[in-house]
């Protein structure tokens, strides 16, 4: 689920997280492990769909930071996901992220396998999607040969990333350049992103851009975003999140996709999340969703999330 509240990318990289368990801390080294396990009973929106148990996600994240003194920090991230293994999908690697980097004050540079800058974009708040989250999600927002720069410049968070072509290498999976910028003031969050991507050396580049806005009025958070994938489709997202109690929040949203060819599709969803007051890292949730396509029945899911 996307977060509406923006956080400093630099602080997220170099500071301890609320959920992580510290395995070792001393002599300028901090090693943390973070887990996120979510299992759900789900029936997709569609025709003659059947319920099944799905794993989304099963992740173990390893974080290391070294204080190199004089404001310089070295960091590394190694994340594993076991969703495919749990569902007997044996193809592909379980490795989700593997990168290292250096941070100084409010700027960090990293290199490796990780998310692109455009992954930070969007206000969508569904647990599962029939449609893509936004235009960037449709095109792809991660890579194996990524160089990424995160910077906090006053009130602006700025992220830029490059996915190298790596032609002829085993990690070859196209090339991309992404940039994301966001700011927040008086409860209003504004963001914009741009990506140019080529699937392979012989393919034409495809440009995608998007803008988003969100406002936290206390009793409700509302957000909207728009993305345009060149010569392919336009997509809109609308969402409202209501904290009905300290332990419970409700989200409702709508997604509209307008392809260059074919009919428009609109999907709506509504979900509720309950966080156990004794342990804020344990939550139960439920969601219903449907689309306006012909012969489509509404879908549902319910599940439990445990993280540390």
Give all domains of the chain, ordered by start, each with its CATH number.
Answer: 9-307 (2.40.160.10)
pLDDT < 50 regions, the chain: 1, 3-9, 16
Alpha helices in the chain (DSSP H): 9-14, 83-86, 135-139
Task: Say if residue 196 is exposed, middle or buried (CB neighbours under 10 Å; 0-12, 13-18, 19+).
Answer: middle
Alpha carbons 19 and 4: distance in angstroms, whole number: 18
- pLDDT at res. 49: 83
Q: What is the pTM of this model?
A: 0.91
What does residue 205 show for φ and ψ, rounded to 5 degrees? -75, 145
- pLDDT at res. 199: 87
- pLDDT at res. 11: 52
- pLDDT at res. 57: 81
- pLDDT at res. 7: 46
- pLDDT at res. 106: 92
- pLDDT at res. 4: 46
């Amino acid at each position: 689920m996307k977060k509406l509240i923006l956080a400093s990318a630099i602080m997220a990289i170099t500071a301890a997280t609320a959920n992580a368990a510290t395995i070792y801390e001393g002599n300028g080294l901090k090693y943390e492990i973070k887990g996120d396990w979510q299992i759900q009973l789900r029936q997709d929106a569609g025709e003659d769909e059947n319920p099944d148990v799905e794993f989304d996600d099963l992740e173990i994240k390893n974080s290391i930071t070294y204080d190199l003194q004089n404001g310089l920090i070295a960091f590394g991230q190694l994340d594993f996901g076991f969703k495919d293994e749990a569902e007997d999908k044996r193809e592909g690697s379980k490795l989700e992220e593997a990168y290292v980097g250096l941070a100084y004050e409010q700027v960090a540079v990293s290199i490796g396998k990780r998310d692109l800058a455009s992954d930070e974009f969007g206000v969508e708040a569904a647990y599962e999607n029939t449609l893509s989250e936004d235009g960037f999600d449709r095109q792809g927002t991660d890579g194996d040969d990524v160089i990424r720069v995160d910077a906090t410049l006053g009130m602006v968070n700025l992220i830029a990333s490059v996915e190298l072509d790596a032609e002829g290498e085993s990690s070859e999976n196209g090339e991309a350049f992404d940039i994301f910028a966001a700011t927040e003031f008086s409860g209003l969050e504004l963001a914009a992103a741009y990506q140019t991507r080529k699937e392979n050396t012989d393919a034409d580049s495809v440009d995608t851009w998007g803008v988003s806005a969100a406002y936290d009025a206390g009793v409700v958070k509302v957000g909207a975003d728009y993305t345009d994938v060149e010569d392919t489709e336009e997509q809109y997202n609308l969402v409202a999140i209501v904290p009905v109690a300290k332990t419970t929040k409700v989200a409702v949203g709508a997604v509209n996709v307008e392809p260059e060819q074919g009919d428009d599709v609109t999907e709506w969803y509504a979900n509720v999340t309950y966080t156990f007051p004794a342990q804020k890292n344990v939550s139960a949730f439920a969601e219903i969703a449907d689309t306006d396509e012909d012969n489509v029945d509404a879908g549902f899911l319910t599940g439990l999330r445990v993280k540390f």
